[in-house]
Structure 1
Amino acid sequence: MTDLLSDSRPLIGDTRPATTGLGARDHVNPATGQVQARVLIGGASEIDAAARAAVLGQRAWQALGPEKRRDSLLRLADLIEADAAKLLRMAALECGTPLSSNSSGLALSWIRYYAGWADKIEGSYSEPFGIAGLAYSRHEPIGVIGVIIPWNSPLVAIAMTAILAMAAGNAVVLKPPTQTPFVALRFGELALEAGIPAGVLNIVPGDAEAGEALIAHPAVGKISFTGGDIVAKAVMRTAAEHLKPVALELGGKSANLIFADADLDVAAAMAAGCSLVPLAGQGCVLPTRVYAHGAIFDEFVDRVRAHAESYALGDPLDPATIIGPVINEAAAQRIIGVIDRAKAESGGRLVTGGRRGQGDLAAGSFVEPTVFAGVAHDSHLAREEVFGPVLSIVRFDDDADAVAMANDSRFGLGAYLHTRDLSRAHKVAAALEAGCVAVNGMLPMAPNQPFGGVKQSGFGREGGRAGLEEFMQIKQVLMHLR
C-alpha cells in the first residue's frame, strides 16, 4: 500500500463518507501487477447525494460573480502547479503514465485559459420585428453537469471537461472510473482549498451503476462523456429517456497521410512518437493509422522502426521511462490478441515489437511498441481502434486513393498529413472527414482551439468559446417599449 493512494473516499460537497453502498475493491498497480490500494465504489446513493450537493454548490458559485469565479479557478491552477509532482506520481501509480509525460502542463493551460473566460461571458442585442422594443440574450449556466471521464489521463480529462463547465457557472458531479480515482479526488480537494464553494465539484468514483444514476438524475442538466462508442450508445439511451442533452468525445482511428514530398525526419518521428509513446498508445486522437506513399514507403518504415526501437519501456516512476504499462492485465491481453490476429492476416509484416514486457517487466501490463507495415487497408488492424502501442502502416500510390482510404472509417476524430506542398495541404485538409486536422505535426490540444469529432467519434466541442458554450443555455429577453 502507498500513502499517495490511501484515500479513495468520494468527495460530496466538502464531506468524505467513510463507506459506500457498493463497498471496496483492490486496486492493482499496472506496472507491477500487485495490489497497492483499496478503492471505494460509488453507486446510486452517492450520486444522489453529490447531485443534491451540486445544486446548492451551483447557487453559491453563481452568487460569487464572474470575477471571483475567475480568481478561484486561477488559484486552483496555482495549487495544481504546486502539487504537480504529487499528482504525476499518483498518475504513474494508478494508470502507469510515466513521469516523463508531465501532463500537468497541458492541464494547467486549459484551467488558466478557461479561468479567463469566466468573466467574459456575454450575450447579444437586437431589435425585434413588428414592435417597439429591444431584445437581448443571456448566456446562462445549465446548472449541474454530469461529467464521465476515462481512465487514460485523468488530470487532462478533468481540465478539458469539468473546468469548462465550472467556468460557465455550473456545478459538476464528476465520475472517474474506479481504475483511476485518485488524481480526480486530489483535484477535488485542491478545488476546495482554492476557495471554490463546496458542492461545485463533487467526485464519485464508480462504474456502471454510478454512471446510470448520474445520467438519469433529475438535478443533472447535461452529460459530458469521454470514452468508447459502445458505452456512449448506452449513455445516449439513458439520456434520451430523460430528454437530456449530451456531449460525446469518443474513440478514433486517426489517419496520418505521408506524401512523397514530406520531410521524412519530421514525419517518421511524429508517426512513431505520437502513436506509440503518449499514454502507451491509449489515446483517442493518436495517429495510429499511417498511409505512406510508395515512393518513400520503405525508407519511411525503416525510420519509424528505428524510432520505435529507441523508446524506453519501463517503470513509470523512473524519469528515464518513455513508455509505461497499459492500464491493466486485461488490456494487455486484448492488445496482444490484436497483434496475434494481425500476424495471422495476410498482407502485413511485423516490423518491430509485438511482445509483452520481458524480464523485470513481465509481471506488469507492459506491451512493446509495435509496428506493422504493408498492412491492408481493410484489415482489422487498420480499421479498429487498438488503444495500445500498435501502429499500422499502409502503402498508397495515388493521392486521391489515400484520402479515400483515410475517410473510409466510421471514426472521425483527428487526421494528419505531411507534405511540403501548400496547395495539397489545404486541399487534403478540407477533404479529410475529421473534427481536427494537423499538417506536418501533432495536434497540440491547445485550449483555445475547438476539439471534437464527427461520425462515430462523437459530437460537441472542447476548447475555445465553442467549448464554453457546450455548458451554457441561451435565454432570450424581449422588452416592449411604449
Structure 2
Amino acid sequence: MSDNDRTALFPTRLIIGDQRPDRASGGWYEHVSPVTGRAQAGLSLAGTAEVDEAVAVARAALAGWRRWDPVERRRVLMRFAQLIREHAQELSTIAALELGQPKAFTGYLPVGGAAWLEEAAGWADRLHGQASPLSERGVLEYTAIEPYGVVAALSTWNGSVNAFCMSVAAPLAAGCTVVAKPSELAPFSSLRAAELALEAGLPAGVLNVLVADVKVSQALVSHPGIDKITFTGSPNSARQIAAAAAPQLTPCVFELGGKSAALVFEDGDLDRALEVASALMLNAGQICTLGSRILVQRSVHEQFVERLSERVAAARPGDPFEEGVTMGPVISQAALDRILGMIGRARNYGTTVTGGQRIGGALSDGYFVAPTVVQLRDNTGELARDEVFGPVVGVQVFDDEDAAVGIANDTDYGLAGYVFTAEIGRAHRVAAALDTGNVGVNGGVAPAGPHLGFGGRRNSGYGRQGGLGGVMEFVSPKTVQIRL
C-alpha cells in the first residue's frame, strides 16, 4: 500500500451532532508527516462559531443521554469498543501516519483505546450514592449520583486513538455529553473513532469532535456551556486552560507531564532496568511516564551506562511501515528544534555518551533524533529539571538509598517513579517515599492504563483517570433529605 492509499483513510470532517461540515470557520490546516517533513493531508479547522454550535448540540443531547438506562449506556460503549477492535488495523495505520511511529507501537493504540472504553463502560450501571438511616430528626438522607454535564475533552497527540478514548470514555460512561478537541498534530484517528461511536449507536450530539487551533481551544474551555474540562498535555497549556476556565469556575482534570526518576540499586535486576530505561525509543521518547532521569548506584553505574548506550545505539529509525524499524521521529519541526537545543545546552553540565544529533541521510527530511544518553553531573541542569518529551535520558549516580530518594523527589513534577532492587523492604520503603502519583517496581510499569486510577502531583496535574475513580470525576453527588 502506498502512502497515498494510506492517507485516503483519513477522515477530514468535523463531527457536530449529525452534521459533517467539510468547511468550517477556523481556517485550513495542512498536517505534516513527521517522517517526511511534507504535508500529507488537510482539513478545515473549527472556529468559535463551531464551538458555540457543538456546545449547544451537546447540551441539547444531555437531557436524553443522562436519562438513558445505564445498562444500555454500558452496552453502547461496549459496542463502540468492539468496533475499535474490529478496525484496529485501519486505526493503527492512521496512527502510524500521524505520529510516524512503527506499527509495532501503533498496533497497541487501538487495543488500548478499546480497553479504556470497556473499563469505563463496566462502571456505567454500577454508580450509586449512599443512604443513611433515619436521623433523630426523622429525616431520611441519601445521595444521588448525576452526570456533571457537558465536558470539554482535550486529548494529547502522542497516544492517537488511545489518548482520545482515554479522554472521552469516563465522561460518556458517567452520562455526560462531550465536545472533544484532539490535537491538530494527530486529529484523524480521533475523528475516525468518533465515527465508529455513532455507528455503535451513540446518539448524535453526545460525542462531538472539533479540530481547532490554540485560540479556538481557549474559546472552548472558557465557554459558559462547559461544565467540566479534562485535559492531557503540558503544564504550561494546563495553566492557560485553568486561567480561561477560572471566570466560570469550571473544574478541571489535568493529566500532565513528568520528569520521572528510575532508581537502580546495586542489587537490582539490570536487565529489567534496561528495559524501562530504553523505553526512550518507544514513541521516540514522547511518553509522559518515561523514566527520563535514571539514578544508578555507584557500584553498578559504569556497567549500566555502557549497556544502556549499546542498547539505544542499536535502535533502527525509519519509515513506520518498513520491516525491522524500531523507532520513529519526534512529532514536529518545533519539537525537533527544542530537543536538539536541550541536548546542545547539556554540554555545559553533562557529557553525551551516545546520540545527541539529528539523523541525516535518507531520513534527513523527517524529524528524527538519535536516541541520546547524557551523563549528568548533578540534578541542577535542564535535562534533570525539564521534561524533554523526546528520546533523551539523563543518568546520575548516587551512593545510598536516602540520597537516591532525595534526588528523585527534587523536582517540580510528581507523575511516576521506578525502583529496581532485590530487597523487598527497600522496594516498599522507596515506593512510599517517592512523592509521585504512580510507582513501578522491578519492571512493573507505573500505571497509566484504564484499570487503576492514574494521576500526578504538583506540575504533573490533579484528578484521576482510569478505574472507578476516573469515572467518578464526571459525576456530581446530590444530597437529598426527606422528612417523613
TM-score bracket, shorter-length normalisation: over 0.9
Q: Which residue of structure 1 aligns with residue 168 of structure 2?
A: 162
Residue type of the alignment partner of 1:471:
F
Structure 1 residues 126-135 or 389-398, which shifts more? 126-135
For 1:197, give the aligned amino acid: P
Contact 2:45/2:213 (<8 A) preserved:
yes
Partner of 1:418: 420
The one-character-per-residue Cα deviations of 1:359-393 (angstroms, maximum 9, x if unpaired) are 11111011111111244211111111011000110
Task: Give the % identical residues.
Answer: 42
RMSD: 1.4
Q: Which segments of 5 or more consecutive residues in structure 2 lack a partner in the other structure? A: none
CA change 1:302–1:206 in 2 (3 A) is same
Q: Distance in 1 between matches of 2:232 and 2:448?
A: 15
TM-score, L = length of structure 2: 0.96
Q: Is 1:475 equivalent to 2:481 in the alignment?
A: no
Tell me the CA shift for residue 443 of structure 1: 2.3
Q: Distance in 2 between matches of 1:375 and 1:153?
A: 33
How far, CA to CA, are the matches of 1:11 and 1:317 in structure 2?
Answer: 29
Measured in 2, the distance between the counterparts of 1:450 and 1:369 equals 31
- Tell me the distance in 1 between the aligned counterparts of 2:48 and 2:377: 46
Does residue 37 (structure 1) correspond to residue 27 (structure 2)? The answer is no
How many residue pairs align between the two structures? 477
Q: How far apart in 2 are the matches of 1:109 and 1:149?
A: 16
Which deviates the most, 464-473 or 95-104? Answer: 95-104
Task: Work out which of the residue numbers 119, 123, 126 in structure 2 matches 1:113.
Answer: 119
1:305 to 309, 315, 324: 309
Alignment of 1:153-302 (within 5 A): 153-272=159-278, 274=279, 276-302=280-306
Cα displacement string for residues 84-112 of structure 1 (whole angstroms, at most 9, x for unaligned residues) = 11111111111223211122222222111
Residue in 2 that maps onto 1:77: 81
Letter in structure 2 aligned against 1:202:
N
Matched residue, 1:315: 319
Whether 2:107 is the aligned partner of 1:97: answer: no
1:465 to 2:458 alignment:
no
Contact 1:371 1:391 in 2 (8 A): yes
SS in 2 for 1:184: helix
Are the equivalent residues in 2 in contact too, given 1:259–1:418 (CA < 8 A)? yes
Tell me how far apart the structure 1 counterparts of residues 329 and 215 of structure 2 sit (CA, whole Å).
Answer: 28
**More deviation in 57-66 or 146-155?**
57-66
CA distance in 1, matches of 2:322, 2:19: 35
Q: CA deviation at 1:332?
A: 0.9
Partners of 1:147 and 1:223 within 8 A in 2: yes
More displaced stretch, 308-317 vs 239-248 = 308-317
Secondary structure of the corresponding residue to residue 385 of structure 1: coil
The alignment partner of 1:295 has SS state of helix
Tell me the distance in 1 between the aligned counterparts of 2:195 and 2:144: 32
The counterpart of 2:333, out of the listed 320, 329, 332, is 329
- 1:382 corresponds to: 384
1:445 aligns with 2:451: no
CA distance in 2, matches of 1:98, 1:4: 19
Q: Could you give the per-residue CA deviations for residues 294-340 of structure 1, whole angstroms, max 9, x where no partner exists?
A: 01001111111122122221112224222111101121111111111
Q: Tell me how far apart the structure 1 counterparts of residues 324 and 68 of structure 2 sit (CA, whole Å).
A: 45
- Say if 2:67 is the partner of 1:63: yes
Distance 1:57 1:6 in 2: 27
Distance verdict in 2 for CA 1:37–1:222, change over 3 Å: same
- CA deviations 1:31-78 (Å, max 9, x no partner) are 011111112111211111111111122223223211111110111111
Say which SS state the counterpart of residue 249 (structure 2) adopts: coil
Report the secondary structure of 2:8's partner residue. helix
Inter-partner Cα distance in structure 1 for 2:74 and 2:27? 37
- Matched with 2:50 is 46
How far, CA to CA, are the matches of 2:416 and 2:250 in structure 1?
A: 27
- The answer to whether the 8 Å contact 2:262/2:294 transfers is yes
Name the residue aligned to 2:158. 152
SS at match of 2:63: helix
Q: How far did 1:6 drift?
A: 4.6
For 2:21, give the aligned amino acid.
Answer: P
Question: Match for residue 125 of structure 1?
Answer: 131
* Match 2:13 to one of 9, 13, 17: 9
Q: Distance in 2 between matches of 1:266 and 1:119?
A: 40
Match of 2:366 in 1: 364
- Contact 1:72–1:196 (CA under 8 A) maintained in structure 2: yes
Q: Secondary structure at the match of 2:436?
A: coil
Please say if 1:345 is aligned against 2:351. no
Q: Runs of 5+ in structure 1 lacking a partner?
A: none
